Amino acid sequence: MKLRSTMLLLGVAGMLGFAIGSQPVNGATITVFQDNFENTTTPLPHIPDAPQAGSYPTGLVAPQSKVIAAGVTPGSPAGGSNILEIANKNRNYGTLSSSVLTSQTITFEWDANIASGTALQFALIGDQGATSLDGFKLTTWVQLNSSGTVQYYNSKWNTITGLSVTPDTWQHYVMEYAVGTGTFTLKAGNNQSGALSLNGVASASQITNIAVTGGSNGNSRYVDNLNVTAVPEPASMALFGVVSAVGLRRPQRHPQGQ
């Protein structure tokens, strides 16, 4: 019995070693897209083409905006040399280095400076979404308006209570979505939204891209420090439980003579 338990423990430990070696450890955050625009090909202005993680599509959906030197205007929120200038109706898409799947949480962060009379839109793109741009389904979709309002789209633009935009000022934003659920949240500066509905769908099972798009007027708006992270599903925790159970099990003792 003792030999059998030992063999089982060794077998499960081997499985656990394989799981840990082939997957991120439970709770570990991985970066699936990142661009601070510092590595963009020069001379500037130039389309963004050198993210630190992830990639940009090519062809018809290639980035339309230009990276410019931050010293021109309005400076950089983190003291960097470059920022992304987004003009009238520009559409920009980033491809994640790996899809974020059900039971994983994706966090999309960015800095934005919105000039008076303009708007900026940000979205998580996945396998579900009632609105499509260039063939991409927008799962979550928010809009930052220089009028001061922050909105999310679900059949129509809805104002998010408690969040606001100050035009011509850099502000940090954080969008978070647990893939497979029916709501997401948005943080603007120090203010956090409640649960927000997805774009016309009950849920999505994967997120593959992000979108950053400009409004319909001619004024420029600016973005910096795009960062998308994911917390993988804690797949290995069950194996820890099995190992613990086997390791703690005591061999049964039988009376002598039996």
pLDDT range class, residue 215, cuts 50, 70, 90: confident
Contacts for 110 with CB less than 8 Å, ≥ 6 apart = 122, 172, 173, 212, 223, 224, 225, 226, 227
pLDDT in tens, 234-252: 654 444 344 444 444 444 4
In angstroms, the Cα distances linking 115 to 58, 148, 211, 215, 220 are 28, 11, 19, 11, 7
pLDDT in tens, 42-62: 999 999 999 999 999 988 788
125 by DSSP, 3-state: which? strand
Task: Please check the confidence at residue 7 and state whether its pLDDT lies above 60.
Answer: no
State the pLDDT at residue 59: 83
pLDDT in tens, 186-209: 999 999 999 999 999 999 999 999
Task: Please check the confidence at residue 233 and state whether its pLDDT lies above 50.
Answer: yes
* Assigned CATH topology for domain 27-234: Jelly Rolls (2.60.120)
State the pLDDT at residue 234: 64
State the pLDDT at residue 6: 43
State the pLDDT at residue 169: 93
- Across the chain, what does the average pLDDT equal? 84
State the pLDDT at residue 93: 97
Q: How far is it, in rounded angstroms, from Cα 61 to Cα 58?
A: 6
Q: Which residue has the higher pLDDT, 215 or 235?
A: 215
70 close to 83: Cβ distance less than 8 angstroms: yes
State the pLDDT at residue 159: 98
213 close to 120: Cβ distance less than 8 angstroms: yes
In the chain, the N- to C-terminal Cα span, in Å, equals 15
221-242 mean pLDDT: 73
pLDDT in tens, 110-145: 999 998 889 999 999 999 999 999 999 999 999 999
Q: Which residue has the higher pLDDT, 164 or 22?
A: 164
State the pLDDT at residue 75: 86
Give the angle subtended at the CA of 99 by the CAs of 97 and 101, to the nearest 5°.
150
> Where are the chain's structural domains?
27-234
The DSSP letter of residue 244 is H
93 close to 166: Cβ distance less than 8 angstroms: no
pLDDT range class, residue 74, cuts 50, 70, 90: confident
Q: Can you give the pTM of this predicted structure?
A: 0.82
Q: Which residue has the higher pLDDT, 153 or 253?
A: 153
34-42 mean pLDDT: 96
Q: Which residue has the higher pLDDT, 33 or 4?
A: 33
240, containing H or E segment = helix 237-248
Task: Please check the confidence at residue 94 and state whether its pLDDT lies above 80.
Answer: yes
